[in-house]
Amino acid sequence: MKDYQLAWRNLWRNKRRTLITAASVFFAVFFALVMRSFQLGAYDRMFKNAIESYTGYLQLQHKDYFDDPVIDNSFELDLSVTERIISDPNVTAIVPRFESFALAAAGSRTQGVMVLGIDPEGEDQVSGLRGRLVKYRLTPEAIEKLKDEQIPERTKGLLDLLSNESFSSEGRMMLDLAIDTRDSSVIMPLIRRHASFANNYLDKEVVGGIMIGSGLSDYLKAGVGDTLVLMGQGYHGTSAAGKYVIRGIVKLPTPDIDNLIVYLPLETARELFAAPGMATTAVIRLNNNNDKVVMVTGERLGETLEDPLRIRNWHELNALLINQMDADN
């Protein structure tokens, strides 16, 4: 007790020194907590973008596909498997995909791309793909027309910085252009007039129609109505080649995917790669996405499956992101 009294008196022998030291420790801890909160928030957003725009929380795969993701390790999603998965109380839908890689060519430009065959309506339920269609594009022509309008100088200055940028939501565009909600009723009608982008979602009934990411569209300088040629290797070594018309352009939150993605209707992708009735993965949509519930659901579904099918959870599917977070921690 005597030691505590001496220590307390010693602290206040020099009040200025004590206050400076205490303030230094306080602000150091405070700013460390603030930065850590920003970091964790960024990780949450990264995981949400990766899961909701691409991987999903659970996937059905061939047992060898995870380590060797080639179309030869695809599987046939028959009705009995689908019914077993759908019967789980936490499952609302199962959406098959057919994924591979190809060389895309438009005019004189080429790019290696990820080809994803999807059921348009099912994919929209899983990843909200329809809502990612580009609605506005700030082309140089649109920017010049907007500058001639009565809009704030701050917004005019930001237009040049966002030249050729695409937007799938008005909220994001208002944020990037620093448009105040009080001015939105005046500015947004002008943007809709000069920068609206005509776009279409995939229709499985329309033969030869595809969608591509906005980053890929910018690189290939290909837009809606242009033709894209795809060349690659099909199922069991067959050749794969096709010519398709771009019906729509999407803006995805993950740049690595946005710069490479080509969406085809599922049956069109199967035909391209000579793999009728096959799927490389099937995304399982859940009622409850709580992490513990997801893990339990995955284990429960795995017990109902026969070889060679396996259930993969989002931790396995996003191992690189998790490893990066663990390294920072």
- In a 3-state reduction of DSSP, which class is residue 44? helix
Structure tokens at 80: 């009995």
- DSSP tally for the chain: helices H, then strands E: 14, 13
Structure tokens at 248: 């729509």
3-state secondary structure 57-105: CEEEEECCCCCCCCHHHCEECCHHHHHHHHCCCCEEEEEEEEEEEEEEE
| First and final C-alpha spacing in the chain | 39
Determine which helix (DSSP H) or strand (DSSP E) holds 327, and give its type and residue range: helix 319-328
* Residue 232 pLDDT: 93
User: Cα–Cα distance between 146 and 167 in angstroms, integer?
Assistant: 16
* Residue 328 pLDDT: 65
Sign of the CA dihedral running 243, 249, 250, 256? positive
Q: Do residues 139 and 164 lie in contact, with contact meaning Cβ atoms separated by under 8 Å?
A: yes
Give this prediction's pTM. Answer: 0.81
Structure tokens at 39: 């970091």
10 Å CB burial of residue 278 (0-12, 13-18, 19+) is buried
Distances (CA, A) of 86 to 92, 121, 185: 6, 17, 46
pLDDT tens for the chain, residues 1 to 329: 677 777 777 777 888 888 888 899 999 999 989 988 887 777 777 777 777 777 888 999 999 999 999 999 999 988 888 999 999 999 998 999 999 999 999 989 999 999 999 999 988 888 888 999 999 999 899 999 988 888 888 888 888 888 888 998 888 888 888 888 888 888 899 899 999 988 889 876 666 789 999 999 999 999 899 999 999 999 988 999 999 999 999 998 888 889 999 999 999 999 999 999 999 999 999 988 888 998 999 999 988 888 889 999 888 888 777 776 666 66
* Residue 198 pLDDT: 87
User: Within its chain, how far is the Cα of 316 from the centroid?
Assistant: 17
